[in-house]
């Protein structure tokens, strides 16, 4: 039997999302890759573009922090072969235009246009020596961060596994599961074993995530084997205001009242209020920072 390729020159991204801050002044573009090598090439070239504030990858997710606007990329073969030409926040939609030369043009057009959760797209011809452009229309999404701690016992469970499995189960079009981090905390005497909390991140359609959150809580209550589980939710773009509190939790024993104060000051919603809330609130600050969050403080 002769093997055939459906589309030999297109590698389609699995998902593409746009998380936007409340003012529409910052957009985080999240691309879930099907080919790490191709996405790493794109990241190198895209990160040189004037609209891109920063670029990084976490596993198969490539993440671009962007200042919306339009620029002329002045593409140059082998040096700056592709990039993000424009990003516009238009109500409940985000319009992103990519441009590229040669293979970069293939990535800028069909490889991204056919990704999951794209609403509409328009593309030019691509490949060869021409410049190609692709415009994607994505739903505007908001960030939701869930911190959890103390779900296990001395004999049963591990918080990080339970939370990953719950997040995977509740993933949906309305609330996409994006990242997972384990947060090493100061080893207090009441710890189960390693004193590690967990944070997960979702990209949510505005006003459409309550069902996911209710299901998440229900599964957590069902499968937690601790009476002291803490669950906290942060619904804004940037959780960095919680970092001073989180750093304290890495370096010293922190009181329950301190967690309540930090949650109130940062606008964190408390869902489950056991002693694990101390670590749950701290975990939020380390959203999408899994390599940094595992580093111990003062042990």
The pLDDT value given to residue 79: 67
CATH topology for 150-293 is: Alpha-Beta Plaits (3.30.70)
User: Does pLDDT of 103 surpass 90?
Assistant: no
- In this structure, the strands spanning 69-70 and 52-58 are unpaired
Residue with tokens 């803490």: 230
From CA 141, how far away is CA 18, in angstroms rounded? 6
The per-residue pLDDT for range 114-143, each reduced to its tens digit, is 999 999 998 887 655 667 788 999 999 999
Given a contact cutoff of 8 angstroms between Cβ atoms, the answer to whether 206 and 253 are in contact is no
50 pLDDT tier (thresholds 50, 70, 90): very high
- In this structure, the strands spanning 15-20 and 131-149 are parallel
Given a contact cutoff of 8 angstroms between Cβ atoms, the answer to whether 219 and 169 are in contact is yes
User: Does pLDDT of 77 surpass 80?
Assistant: no
For the chain, which residues make up each domain, given as ranges?
A: 15-140, 150-293
DSSP codes of every residue in 131-197: EEEEEEEEEEEEEEEEEEE----SSS--HHHHHHHHHHHH--SSEEEEEEEEEE----TT-SSS-EE
The pLDDT value given to residue 6: 87
Phi, psi dihedrals of residue 231, rounded to the nearest 5°? -135, 125
The pLDDT value given to residue 284: 98
- In this structure, the strands spanning 269-273 and 196-204 are unpaired
User: Does pLDDT of 68 surpass 70?
Assistant: yes
User: Does pLDDT of 299 surpass 70?
Assistant: no
From CA 213, how far away is CA 149, in angstroms rounded? 16
- Give the containing element (helix H, strand E) for 251: helix 243-251
| Percent of the chain at pLDDT exceeding 70 | 91
Q: How many CA atoms lie within 13 A of 85 on its CB side?
A: 20
């Amino acid at each position: 039997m002769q093997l055939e390729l459906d589309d030999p020159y297109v590698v389609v991204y699995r998902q593409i999302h746009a998380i936007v801050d409340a003012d529409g002044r910052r957009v985080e573009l999240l691309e879930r890759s099907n080919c790490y090598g191709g996405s790493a090439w794109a990241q190198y070239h895209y990160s040189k573009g004037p609209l891109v504030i920063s670029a990084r990858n976490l596993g198969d997710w490539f993440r671009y922090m962007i200042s919306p606007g339009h620029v002329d990329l002045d593409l140059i073969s082998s040096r700056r072969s592709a990039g993000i030409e424009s990003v516009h926040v238009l109500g409940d939609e985000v319009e992103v235009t990519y441009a590229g030369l040669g293979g970069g043009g293939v990535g800028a057009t069909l490889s991204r246009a056919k990704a999951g959760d794209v609403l509409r797209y328009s593309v030019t011809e691509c490949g060869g020596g021409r410049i190609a452009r692709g415009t994607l229309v994505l739903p505007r999404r908001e960030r939701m961060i869930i911190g959890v701690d103390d779900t296990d016992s001395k004999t049963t469970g591990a918080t990080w596994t339970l939370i990953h499995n719950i997040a995977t189960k509740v993933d949906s079009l309305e609330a996409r599961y994006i990242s997972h981090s384990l947060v090493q905390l100061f080893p207090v005497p009441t710890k189960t074993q390693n004193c590690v909390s967990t944070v997960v991140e979702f990209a949510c359609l505005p006003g459409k995530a309550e069902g996911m959150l209710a299901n998440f809580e229900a599964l957590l209550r069902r499968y937690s084997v601790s009476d002291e589980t803490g669950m906290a939710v942060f619904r804004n773009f940037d959780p960095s205001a919680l970092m001073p509190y989180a750093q304290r939790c890495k370096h010293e024993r922190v009181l329950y009242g301190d967690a309540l104060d930090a949650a109130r000051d940062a606008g964190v919603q408390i869902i489950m209020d056991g002693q694990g809330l101390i670590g749950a609130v701290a975990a939020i600050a380390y959203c999408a920072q899994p390599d940094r969050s595992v580093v111990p403080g003062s042990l």
